Amino acid sequence: MPKAVIIRTYLIYFIVVIAMLVVIGKTFTIIIDGRNNIFTSSSDKLQQRSANVEPRRGEILDARLNPLVTSVAFYDVYMDPVTVEESVWKKGIGGLSVGLSELFPEKSAREYEEYLRQARAQKRRYVLIQKKVTNEVRKKVRELPIFEKGRFKGGIIDNKATIIRKRPNDDLLARTLGYVKFNNKDTLYVGLEGAYNSYLAGQNGVIIEQKISHSWKPTGTVVREAINGYDVVTSIDKDIQEVAHTELENQLKIKGGRYGCAIVMDVKTGFVKAMVNLQRTKEGDYGEIYNHAIGTREVPGSTMKLASLMAALEDGKIKMTDTVNAVGRYEFYDRSLRDSRPWGYGKVTIKEAFEYSSNVISKVIFDNYRKEPGRYIDRMHQFGLTQKTGVNLQGEVEPNFSKPGSSQWWGGSLAWMSIGYEFQLSPLELLAFYNAVANDGKYMKPQFVTKVLNNRKVVEEFEPVVKYEKIASQSTIDVMKEALEGVMINGTGRNLKSTFFKTAGKTGTAQIANRNEGYGAEGEKKYIASFAGYFPADDPIYSCIVVIAAPTDDIYGASVSGTVFSAIANKVYASSYNYHKAVNEKPSIASIPHVQNGSRYDVNTVLNRFEIKKEFNGNQAWVKASAVGNQKISLADFHIEKEKVPDVRGMGLSDAMYLLEKQGMVVRSDGYGNVVWQSIAAGARSVQGGVIKLKLKPN
């Protein structure tokens, strides 16, 4: 083969290789530029980049799927009038201007038309229409002439949303719900928001932004849609939460106190139904500032006597019928303990001493365990009192207690521990123990979340968790349950009786340090008042603990915290179907009931369930109900006028919120039950983002 042909062949080969390398290099350049979020458009030479779109964070719901925390998306609407074809522009600009003036009346239709025509003439690519538009209004904007053709033919730019996290019930459950806060260095995960962030967060979407006038603006091109977060269903019953919150807050205002907390737990499952944490603010009010229920450990006082006597029973050291001499003062080396009744109670059984909350129990435990204190500590461990509950919330503190051989331990430590000193627990840790006693010895791990939903379909479900199958023998449990009932019948809780059902529990009053001032002189001492128990005593459904620290008016567990426990128990009993057995297998209605306004589907479902005759007048999704004699219910359309505040009085909170937020309003509620008052009268003009306050009361 001629040399010239060989040279030409190699030359062509090298040219092809070089061309391929150039193509590969260019490809990598485009990929790298894309990853760096900046590239240059070949058509208009304007810089573009990809940008993240925040997804809608999942909702946190109560046990009945009422929202406790939700996300509200607000959109900034812009227009690129240059992209709209001339024929589309001429045909639709008038209708678009009229539609915009109806949705956003701050400009007339003529002003909108002049504004947009001028922007088109100036070839402006990013013209503001309206900021912070709700998704409902955004959908209406998209239906207007020109905009109905979408981003590329209609010029609408509305893909970037600002997500605002909102609690419809204001301060209710605030510390338990928590938050996720992003700092420069790290992220703060608090409460349920933090613990279940992986479910709630969702995944970012990606859109294309374009650099216009030294700032980046969304083009409307979506590279990847954002994936919204899952919804988390809690075990919280909002009705019980509202009752516990109201009763505790009222008592704090009457009795004073540094802070207070109340927890209600389902006995059989360990799922928490309510958790309230209220602390005095600088202004003198009470608010959810810190989660004391899991994050503050304090001496439990006489509520600890339950565990002490259970230990002695388990070890066969005592019987509850044994007699002791409660003289009112009990000496241990150079210190002494006293009863609240200075002259004591005389010769009583140990059961009676427990009911009266006599500190003679300290002498009983000291005399029986002084030579083997480790055995007493082992029993506390057996009862689950020496370690955290393991609740899935950050911030739970470890119990703190004296141990033989430690610097805290001294000769009288056993006596002090037996009545709730030298032993510090969080309210949740103590309640979990009382819950186990109510549950015949089965210790349930406290939990807050029952399931995770995606578009109302279950993604994951959380079952009750048994931490200890049996913390004590059944005979010990039975004896102590009888003693807890005796407290409410004969002892310190005798004034807290319920008319309809029996309760069981124990009062506690303990001296605590007054911040950095020590324990203080007589008259300056601070106390913590507590009550732990369950109801109804015969067949426990809920356990409950109430703790109030440093009350200023009264100090005793029964009168300070026990009254809150009793109020919660009575109101939960009155409103819970768990207590009230059906009289007949098939429901019967003696007369036509009162039916409130609401969802046609919900009202129809209930009326069908009770086989109540009805007649429909209209076909709207919301109905107004009225009785026709004593024979049937008439359901007429509940008319909701555009941009007018509806009359939500008589409705439940969920229905009222739905209708008001559909009008773009922000709802603030107070109380529970049905709406009895609304701050803006029905028929008044609704304002986007305007606040309307609702007051609710039970029927």
| pLDDT single digits (tens) 290-322 | 999 999 999 999 999 999 999 999 999 999 999
Tell me what the mean pLDDT of segment 334-348 comes to.
93
Residue environment code for 262-282, b if the CB has 16+ CB neighbours within 10 A, otherwise e: bbbbbbbbbbbbbbbbbbbee
Report the pLDDT value the prediction gives residue 39, as an integer from 0 to 100.
Answer: 42
**Which distant-in-sequence residues (6+ apart) come within 8 Å of 424 by Cβ?**
297, 298, 299, 300, 399, 400, 401
Residues in CB range of 562: below 8 A, 6 or more apart: 492, 493, 496, 505, 507, 531, 546
DSSP class of 251: H
Nearest to 669 by CA among 690, 644, 694, 637: 694
- Predicted local confidence at residue 44, as pLDDT: 44
Is residue 549 within 8 A of residue 298, CB to CB? The reply is yes
pTM above 0.85, yes or no: no
Partnered with residue 166 across adjacent β-strands are 70
Q: Which residue has the tokens 């150079």?
A: 334
Instruction: Determine which of 116-125, 184-193, 602-611 has the lowest per-residue pLDDT on average.
Output: 602-611
Residue 404's CB is within 10 A of a number of other CB atoms, namely 13
Lowest-confidence pick of 363-372, 455-464, 590-599: 590-599
Q: What angle do CA 480, 332, 407 make, to 5 degrees?
A: 95
* Residue whose tokens read 């309307």: 692
| More confident of the two residues 187 and 105 | 105
DSSP sequence for 290-343: S-HHHH--B--GGGGHHHHHHHHHHTTS--TT-EEEE-SEEEETTEEEE-SSTT
The Cα–Cα gap between 287 and 272 comes to 20
Burial readout 231-247 (b: 16 or more C-beta within 10 A, e: otherwise): bbbbbbbbbbbbbbbbb
Instruction: Yes or no: say if 633 and 614 are a contact pair by the CB < 8 Å rule.
Output: yes
Cβ neighbours for 3, distance < 8 A, ≥ 6 positions apart: none
Chain segment 633-677, per-residue pLDDT in tens: 777 777 777 788 888 887 877 778 878 887 888 888 877 777 889
Q: In angstroms, how far apart are the furthest CA atoms of the chain?
A: 129
**Helix/strand/coil for 432:** helix
Q: What is the mean pLDDT of residues 336-345?
A: 93
pLDDT of residue 601: 64
How confident is the model at residue 43, as a pLDDT? 42
Eight-state DSSP code of residue 148: G
- Measured distance CA(695)–CA(409) in Å, rounded: 54
The pLDDT tens digits of the residues spanning 406-437 come to 999 999 999 999 999 999 999 999 999 999 99
pLDDT of residue 450: 97
SS3 386: coil
Residue listed under structure tokens 């309003």: 665
Tokens of 155: 């010029």
Q: What is the pLDDT of residues 59-112, one digit of tens each?
A: 999 999 999 998 887 888 999 999 999 999 999 999 999 999 999 999 999 999
Give the model's confidence band at 29: pLDDT under 50 very low, under 70 low, under 90 confident, else very high: low
Tokens of 240: 């019980």
Tens digits of per-residue pLDDT, 253-286?
A: 999 999 999 999 999 999 999 999 999 999 989 9
Residue from 425, 393, 445 nearest 265 by CA: 445
Closest CA to 224 of 242, 237, 208, 201: 208
